[in-house]
Amino acid sequence: MAILVLAEHDNASLKLDTAKVVACAQAIGGDVDVLIAGDECAAVVDAAKLLSGVRHVLVAQSAQYANGFADNVAQLILDLADDYEHILAAATSQGKDTLPRVSALLDVAQLSEVVEVVSSDTFVRPIYAGNALATVQSHDAKKVLTVRTSAFDAVSNDGAADVVIIDKVFDSVTQFVSQSLSKSERPELGAASVVVSGGRGLGNGENFAILEKLADKLGGALGASRAAVDAGFVSNDLQVGQTGKIVAPDLYIAVGISGAIQHLAGMKDSKVIVAINKDPEAPIFQIADYGLEADLFDAVPELTDLL
C-alpha cells in the first residue's frame, strides 16, 4: 500500500522537514507520494520532484490552500485517503494542526511525534516530556502519524517523481489576517547542526548578542529556554523544549539554562551537549557531555575568540 506525505512549505520553498518525513515513510515501506497544498508554489513542486524515492508529487494549488489552514487541507487529504494506508506529516505547527483533523474524520487514532518505525503498524513515540518511550501498535486500517523530524535523516535529492495535478478545491472558513515571521540570516533552528541556546541567566535581550556572535562563528542557530522567551528576551519561535522546537543538532550549547524537564525534552537527543552555567548544581550538568562552571559573560566571549 502507498504512503501519503503532506509537504511542509511556505509556497516559496520546500522545508527540509519534508525530506525527513519521506525518510520515515521509506522506513515504513511502500510507494511514497508527496502532497503539496498551496498557492503559486512552482518552486516547491520542483524541489519535491527531486526527493529520493518519491513516486508522485500531488499538487493542489488554489488561493484556498495558500495558508495551509487545517480545515480545508484536512478535507483535501480525506478526499485522497482511499488510496493510502499511511498518512504522514512533520510534527511542525502545520502538521500538528492538520493531521488530528484528518484522523478524526477517518475515525482512526493518530500517533504523534513518531521517532522510530518498528514495523508498518508499530511505532515508537516519546511520552511524558521524553522521559519514557512508548512502543505502540495501531489496529486502525489507516495509520495517521506526525513525525519528529529530528529523529530521521533527510533523503537525498536524486529523485525524479512525476507531478499529478489535483484540481479539487475545498474552501476554508478561516480568514488570514496577518503574520509576523521572525527574519534571521542564521540556519533554521530545527535543521541547524549547531544550536546555541540562552536562558534566564542572560539577564536581558541585549545580552543575547554575545550568543549570536558565538552562533555565527559556529554557523549555528540561536535557541532559548522558556524562561528567556517569557521574559521577552527573544521571540517565542526560538523556544526549545516540550512545547517549543525539538532539536537534535551535533552540538548544543546551553548557556545560562538550568535544565528543567521541559527544556531537556527539546534537546536531550543532541549528539554533544555543552553547558555553561555558574550554578554547579544546575540539572543541565547531569546531561551535559562537557560542563563548564563559569560566568557566561566571561566564558562565552572567550570561547568565541578561541574557536
Partner 1 sequence: MKVLVPVKRVVDANVKVRVNADNTDVDTANLKMAINPFCEIAVEEAVRLKEAGVVSEIVVVTVGPKAAQEQLRTAMALGADRGIHIETEEALVPLSIAKLLNAVQEKEQAQLIILGKQTIDGDNNQTGQMLAALANMPQATFASEVKVEGDCLAVTREVDGGLQSISIPLPAVVTVDLRLNVPRYAKLPNIMKAKRKPLETLAIDDLGVSLKQHQTVLKVTPPAKRKAGVMVASVAELADKLKNEAKVI
Annotated binding site for FAD: 200, 225-226, 239-243, 256-263, 277
In whole angstroms, give the CA distance from residue 223 to residue 79.
39
Which residue, 29 or 232, has its beta carbon nearer to partner 1?
Answer: 232
Which residue, 52 or 122, has its beta carbon nearer to partner 1?
Answer: 122
Residues that constitute the known binding site: 200, 225-226, 239-243, 256-263, 277
In whole angstroms, give the CA distance from residue 262 to residue 242.
5
Torsion region of 226: left, alpha or beta (phi above 0 gives left; psi -120 to 50 gives alpha): alpha
Which residue, 32 or 285, has its beta carbon nearer to partner 1?
Answer: 285
Give least dist CB 160 to partner 1, A. 29
Q: Are 240 and 266 in contact (CB under 8 A)?
A: yes
Give least dist CB 287 to partner 1, A. 5
In whole angstroms, give the CA distance from residue 65 to residue 45.
14
In whole angstroms, give the CA distance from residue 146 to residue 44.
21
Question: Cell numbers 544550536 label which residue?
Answer: 195
In whole angstroms, give the CA distance from residue 240 to residue 223.
6
In whole angstroms, give the CA distance from residue 247 to residue 48.
23
In whole angstroms, give the CA distance from residue 54 to residue 3.
10
Give least dist CB 81 to partner 1, A. 13
The H or E element that residue 196 is part of is strand 194-198
Q: What is the DSSP letter of 5?
A: E
Which residue, 17 or 32, has its beta carbon nearer to partner 1?
Answer: 17
Give least dist CB 58 to partner 1, A. 21
Give least dist CB 159 to partner 1, A. 25
Which residue, 160 or 175, has its beta carbon nearer to partner 1?
Answer: 175
